[in-house]
Structure 1
Amino acid sequence: MFEGRLVRLRALRADDLGAQLRWRNDPEVAHWATGGHPHFGPVSREAVERFHEARLREDPRDGATFTVEELDGGRPIGMADYRDLDAFAGRATVGITIGERDRWGGGHGSEALRLLLGHLFGACRLRRVELDTWSGNERALRAFRRLGFVEEGRRRAAVRVGEEWYDTVEFGLLREDWAASGALLQQP
């Protein structure tokens, strides 16, 4: 478990299933999390159960999914994960979704991602962390840049949202950039 000022990242539990089902079927959450990609929502309870069960069985040497939980009250508000962990290359891909809309824009997602990065660069000794989002997700783009991520490339017109096409924006963060940014010192 990793704890900040607003949130903690804790292991996924069976009782998180109801919140996951609600988030996966919230059209606005799906819109911002995936650009409205149909693999995110709407989904059946059975599909979410399969996803949830697979996450509960993850081998942390390959990846892990955490519930983002508010410190004040313990309410699950989202999920954060790392995947595609390559210990030899020292890299992993991360993701974050805040599913509770009343917690958007309050720093909860940024803090959750900062906690996850602290773990990956610290305990896991990774050299590099990657993530991506779609170019219309301005809030995520700003948050990633504030955390020190550097835009490394774009896949032009790779995401369709409604009738419009957006770029996939690819980001990377190196351990030395993370350390130089003072982000490690910001860990609670």
Structure 2
Amino acid sequence: MFAGNLAGDPLFGPVTAEAIRTGFDTMLRLPPRESAVLTVEDLAGGTVIGMVDYRDLDPYAGVATIGVTIGEREFWGRGHGSDALRLLMGHLFGAYGLNRLELDTWSGNERAVRAFTRLGFREEGRRRSAVLVQGKRYDRVLFGMLREEWESPA
């Protein structure tokens, strides 16, 4: 499945194929009104190269947390993650009528920070020195986007 990577979320970490299957089986049973995991495919070859997800969807507050992982290194930097997030954002702001989406990454994941910013997310804060990767500490960077920012990008 996905190769381990240091550009993504270090909390995802190296996992076994069995752990991935168990995790997906569990996630597929979750009610889609609360959370879902969707695969990201390379359209040219139909290969699964990653996933996007949403979780902690609160229909009353109009908020959800989203995430993206492109696990296959050869597909990094080609816009697949941004495209997948854009589609997910449109679905959540549109079909679910949410007011706010949020996500986070670690400060060492500079590609994600740039991609989230290009998509219109704003950095809203940091949890200083909250992530440990290969013995080095990084900040957890928090991002948010409001419906009106999505509807009328700057």
| TM-score tier after normalising by the smaller chain length | over 0.9
Output the CA distance in 1 between the equivalents of 2:21 and 2:45.
25
Output the CA distance in 2 between the equivalents of 1:45 and 1:101.
17
Of the three residues 152, 171, 183, the one matched with 2:143 is 171
Which residue type is aligned with residue 111 of structure 1?
A: D
Of the three residues 78, 99, 102, the one matched with 2:71 is 99
Asked if 1:46 corresponds to 2:18, the answer is yes
Structure 1 segments of 4 or more deviating over 3 A? none
The alignment partner of 2:8 has SS state of helix
The alignment partner of 1:139 has SS state of helix
User: Given the superposition, is the C-alpha separation of residues 45 and 101 from structure 1 closer, same or farther in structure 2, using an over 3 Å criterion?
Assistant: closer
Q: How does 1:49-88 map to 2 (within 5 A)?
A: 49-88=21-60
Structure 2 residue aligned with 1:34:
9
Which residue type is aligned with residue 74 of structure 1?
A: G
Output the CA distance in 2 between the equivalents of 1:99 and 1:180.
31
Which residue type is aligned with residue 133 of structure 1?
A: T
User: 1:48 Cα shift?
Assistant: 1.9
Q: How does 1:94-173 map to 2 (within 5 A)?
A: 94-173=66-145
User: 1:70 Cα shift?
Assistant: 1.8
Which residue type is aligned with residue 84 of structure 1?
A: D
The alignment partner of 1:50 has SS state of helix
The alignment partner of 1:81 has SS state of strand
Q: TM-score, normalised by structure 1?
A: 0.78
Q: Which runs of 5+ in 1 are unaligned?
A: 1-18, 183-188
Q: Deviations over 1:50-89 (max 9, x none)?
A: 2011111121111110001122221111100000000000
User: 1:43 Cα shift?
Assistant: 2.4
Q: TM-score, normalised by structure 2?
A: 0.94
Output the CA distance in 2 between the equivalents of 1:160 and 1:67.
27
User: 1:49 Cα shift?
Assistant: 2.2
Q: Deviations over 1:9-66 (max 9, x none)?
A: xxxxxxxxxx2xxx1xx33x2x22223x3xx233233322220111111211111100
Output the CA distance in 1 between the equivalents of 2:57 and 2:51.
18
Determine which structure has the larger helix proportion and give its number: 1
Which residue type is aligned with residue 34 of structure 1?
A: D
Aligned length: 154
The alignment partner of 2:112 has SS state of helix
User: 1:135 Cα shift?
Assistant: 0.6
